[in-house]
Amino acid sequence: MSNQEGHKRIAVYPGAFDPPTNGHLDIARRAAHLFDTLIIAVYAYPAKNLLFSADERVQLWEEIVAAEQLANVRIEQYTELSVEYVRSVEGLAIIKGLRSPNDFEAEFRQGLMNRKLAPEIETVCLLTNLENLFVSSSLLKEVAHLGGNVADMLPPAVARVLNIVDQLRTTIPDEIKVARRIIQEKERILAQAQADASTLLARAQEESERAIKREVLLQAAGERSQEIVRGAQAQAEKLKDDADAYVAETLRALRDHLASIEIIVGRSILSIEKGLESLEPPLEETPLPGVEDSLEDSYDEFEQPEEVPSPSRHVPRRASLAADTMGGPSYQHGSISPNQLSILPGENRLP
* 3-state class (DSSP) for residue 33: helix
- In whole angstroms, what is the distance from residue 34 CA to residue 94 CA? 12
Those residues with Cβ within 8 angstroms of residue 161's Cβ, 6 or more apart along the chain or in another chain: 19, 60
Relative orientation angle of helices 156-278 and 54-68, to the nearest 10 degrees: 150
pLDDT for 302 beyond 50: no
What pLDDT, on the 0 to 100 scale, is given for residue 115? 92
Percent helix / strand / coil, the chain, rounded to 5: 65, 10, 30
The full set of domain ranges for the chain reads 10-135, 236-348
User: Looking at 91-95, 145-149, 170-174, 249-253, which range is the least confident one?
Assistant: 170-174
Confidence of residue 272 (pLDDT cuts 50, 70, 90): confident
pLDDT in tens, 33-80: 999 999 999 998 887 778 888 898 999 999 999 998 999 999 999 999
The catalytic residue positions are 24, 48, 99, 137
DSSP H helix total and E strand total for the chain? 9, 5
pLDDT for 154 beyond 80: yes
Handedness of CA 260, 266, 272, 278 (dihedral sign): negative
- The correct answer on CATH 3.30.465.10 for the domain covering 10-135 is no
Confidence of residue 149 (pLDDT cuts 50, 70, 90): confident
In the predicted model, what is the mean pLDDT of residues 205-217?
Answer: 84
What pLDDT, on the 0 to 100 scale, is given for residue 172? 59
- In whole angstroms, what is the distance from residue 202 CA to residue 95 CA? 70
What pLDDT, on the 0 to 100 scale, is given for residue 125? 92
What pLDDT, on the 0 to 100 scale, is given for residue 176? 63
pLDDT in tens, 155-182: 888 888 777 666 656 655 555 666 667 7
pLDDT for 198 beyond 50: yes
- In whole angstroms, what is the distance from residue 50 CA to residue 53 CA? 7
What pLDDT, on the 0 to 100 scale, is given for residue 292? 53
In the predicted model, what is the mean pLDDT of residues 192-198?
Answer: 85
pLDDT for 29 beyond 80: yes
What pLDDT, on the 0 to 100 scale, is given for residue 53? 87
- In whole angstroms, what is the distance from residue 234 CA to residue 130 CA? 119
Contact call for residues 118 and 39 (beta carbons, < 8 A)? no
Confidence of residue 256 (pLDDT cuts 50, 70, 90): confident
Mean pLDDT over all residues of the chain?
77
User: Looking at 176-190, 252-266, 279-293, which range is the least confident one?
Assistant: 279-293
What pLDDT, on the 0 to 100 scale, is given for residue 180? 66
Burial of residue 290 (CB within 10 Å: 0-12, 13-18, 19+) is exposed
What pLDDT, on the 0 to 100 scale, is given for residue 348? 42
What pLDDT, on the 0 to 100 scale, is given for residue 310? 45
Those residues with Cβ within 8 angstroms of residue 276's Cβ, 6 or more apart along the chain or in another chain: 283, 315, 319, 323
